[in-house]
Homo-oligomer: A and B are copies of this chain.
Amino acid sequence: MEPIHLLVTFDKNYIPPFRVLAKSLAVNNPAERFHIWLLHSAIPREALEALAAYCGELGMTLTPVAIDPALFAGAPVSKQYPQEMYYRLLSPLLLPEGLDRVLYLDPDILNINPIRPLWELALGDAAFAAASHSGIFELINDVNQLRLGNETDYFNTGVLLMDLSKARSLVRAEDLFRCVREQPELLLLPDQDVFNLLYGKNTLPINDAVWNYDARYYSAYLLKSEGRYQMDYVLKNTVFLHFCGKQKPWKTKSAQRFTILYKHYMRLAELETGARA
């Protein structure tokens, strides 16, 4: 089987959770080969080498791509809108041209089931696939639609499948920069908002309970699904548990539900280092 190409973008603070994500991908997809593209600004060389060695132990290839700040000379960049926030959206222009498809993942995600069905998803005319959390929060979805004046669902871009060929003819850096420049007051989550404003209509909706499950809201999912999304269902069907929000599982002492699973994988990631001779 051809390898699955994953895209991540983070700074060095997010290396530990990324290691957990990578470990969970290796455990839950034992037959897959992964090629991971890391777009970053200034992760030190030693840290990148250690990370590449770690990925190698997991049977994965890591390709770090340092982005040249000169690319952002004309961009609205500030503390609030750092250069890094554009990497995910600009990745069609930053990744090698030979690459047709990539799956972007936030580093606060845990994988607990095989990802190939998403990797092979037929996108039709769409350039992207993403889930909205509207299933659990009609209200929030409506507010975001209203706020951005959008007619499509408000997508969470933490899990974002991209058809790079289509995206390359769609994405223009100038559009992104203009969008940020013209309506900064609109943008609460800048990159996600920009994505929704510009490319929401080019995005195929996928089921968040499977592909981008907000790990904070087990009870809400259960309620909205009229009891269907029991824990057994989640453990068997959900592929990505997304630890949205401020209370990250690696920062909390909490022992609730999915945190236990996350912390077990933290431990597995920790044990990985130097475990193999």
Contact = CB atoms under 8 A, between A and B. Distances in A.
A200 interface: no
Interface string A233-258: 00110000000000000000101011
A260 to B, nearest CB: 6
A263 interface: yes
A252 to B, nearest CB: 9
A277 interface: yes
A231 B276 contact: no
Interface in A4-59: 27-28, 30-31
Nearest to A222: B255
A121 interface: no
Interface residues of A, number: 29
Contact of A267 (B236, B275, B277): B236
Contacts of A277: 1, 31
Interface in A92-141: 112-114
A114 B271 contact: yes
A53 B175 CA distance: 55
A226 interface: no
Nearest to A27: B27
Contacts of A271: 28, 30, 113-114
A267 B114 CA distance: 10
Interface of A: 1, 27-28, 30-31, 112-114, 230-232, 235-236, 253, 255, 257-258, 260-261, 263-264, 266-268, 271-272, 275-277
